[in-house]
Structure 1
Amino acid sequence: MSETQTTPPTPERIAELEQQLLELQQKCDFLEKVIHEVPANIYISDLEKGLTWCNKTNEESLGYTLEEIREMGGLEYMYKIVHPEDHNIPDDSITHYQNFEGAEYGGVFRAKHKDEKEYKWFIGWAKAFSKKGPDEVKELLCVDVDMSPRMNTDTQLVQALRDNLKQKNKLLIKCLRKREIEVLDLVCKGFNSKEIADKLFISPNTVSTHRKHIQQKLGTANVADLVSLGKEAGLG
């Protein structure tokens, strides 16, 4: 059996390969520089483990190095930096992609640097990055932008937060039944229970029961909060 002989590359071919390798290295260096210097927090989040990789901007804006995050645990890190009232954002993101239907997920939330007391407003997006199977997402590619220094005026920031609250309350209203939405709409218009009962041809006791259920579902403590939430969602 004769051994297969290979022709050694020519000096020209070696020089060509070295040039290609140099160009590839330059391209990788450029892309790495862009990723780490872009003014946004870019990170990979595993649905089970939480954050597993992040860019330098993320480390600088929130104060935790990637090594610290991995040591702490990606999920614990998320709950540590995100405002307690906004923990639903990472939770809802995980739930969304556990029941993946193809749509991207986004939200507005507050987070803070580990050495600071004040929270900043971020707007974030996520999309499926890797999958275990055709319809089973494993990792997310996430991008969060600190909104406060990106706005030219305070008015823009206020309007952005107002629009987000309106959308959030619209989604919350969807948990109500059709009759409950009718009752809430009339409450927002200023009608009392007797007037609502007359308009909907039901008893005042039934209206009171609906109002009680509505407040339980929406988590409001009083009528003023209930009306505020309903109007933010477009009722009344």
Structure 2
Amino acid sequence: MPEQQTTTPLEQQPHDLETELSILREKVAFLERIVHEVPASIYISSLEKGVVWCNKTNEETLGYTLDEILEMGGWEYLYKIVHPDDHNIPDDSVDHYQHFDGAEFGGIFRAKHKEAKDYKWFMGWAKAYSKNQEGQVKELLCVDVDLSPQMNTDKQLAAALKENLKLKHKLLIKSLRQRELEVLTLVCKGFSTKEIAEKLFISINTVSTHRKNIQHKLGTNNVADLVSLAKEAGLG
């Protein structure tokens, strides 16, 4: 009876590794195709340097290759494509992740292709992507979608801008300290400075100081604007 040939584990190992490597290559190619062909601009933005990587859709939508972006500098690129009146969006995202951890940040802004004269409307979202050794956010994963094809009416545009303003106000509210938030909540409910002092067991001067700080942080000049901003952000 002829001897039955068997394959030893060591002989099988190279074949198994080759198979796994082939499968891994297929997965990587599949994911790369999705990332570069998805109908949205995907990019990595460093809080220090600005854009440091982008997909092909981003390059096609705005006209700058990744090499061009890196050569001019990620922040200069952002300020070049984004409408001057909307520069607060990238600025606010940096401020947000320098002071808060974990929460996503989004906004509506205008940007244009390198060769175009007119700006298009985009909705963008950002999420913490990497952190430094101290646990602070270092880079953001950003996704921007061109809204222009969907915005065919002034009503739709107005609704989008209103939502953008609401998001911005929510971010401002988050910058307040706990005691300031308590004071603002009571202001929104119509309590006077004296009533707030009695309710929170603090002095009138302390309440006045809190109110001044709140006005400064939220950028409002009077109580009516302050209450309006807070209510638009969902407070009170």
TM range (shorter): 0.5 to 0.7
Aligned-residue offset at 1:145: 0.8
**Contact 1:100/1:136 (<8 A) preserved:** no
**C-alpha deviations, 1:25-47, integer Å up to 9, x for none?**
00000000000001111111111
Name structure 2 gaps, 5 residues minimum: 1-7, 177-182, 189-214
Q: 1:94: which partner in 2?
A: 94
- Name the residue aligned to 2:60: 60
Matches within 5 A, 1:83-232: 83-149=83-149, 151=150, 154=153, 155-168=155-168, 217-218=219-220
Whole-angstrom distance in 2 between the partners of 1:47 and 1:168: 19
Rate the CA distance shift 1:96–1:166 in 2: closer, same or farther, 3 A: closer
Q: Distance in 2 between matches of 1:166 and 1:103?
A: 16
AA paired with 1:58? N
Structure 1 residue 51 and structure 2 residue 79: aligned?
A: no
The alpha-carbon distance between structure 1 residues 105 and 63, as it changes in their structure 2 partners (threshold 3 A), is same
Whole-angstrom distance in 2 between the partners of 1:168 and 1:14? 56
Q: Could you tell me which residue of structure 1 aligns to residue 72 of structure 2? A: 72
Q: Which runs of 5+ in 1 are unaligned?
A: 1-6, 183-212, 220-225
Give the whole-Å Cα distance in 2 for the aligned partners of 1:147 and 1:56. Answer: 18
Q: Offset of 1:106 from its aligned partner?
A: 1.0
Q: RMSD between aligned alpha carbons? A: 3.6
TM norm structure 2: 0.67
Secondary structure of the corresponding residue to residue 96 of structure 2: helix
Percent identical: 60
For residue 132 of structure 2, give the secondary structure of its aligned residue in structure 1. strand
Query: What secondary structure, in the 3-state scheme, does the structure 1 residue paired with 2:118 have?
Result: coil
User: Is the 1:62–1:113 contact (alpha carbons within 8 Å) kept by the matching residues of 2?
Assistant: yes
TM-score normalised to the size of structure 1?
Answer: 0.67
Matched residue count: 191
1:152 Cα offset (Å): 7.4
Letter in 2 for 1:16: D
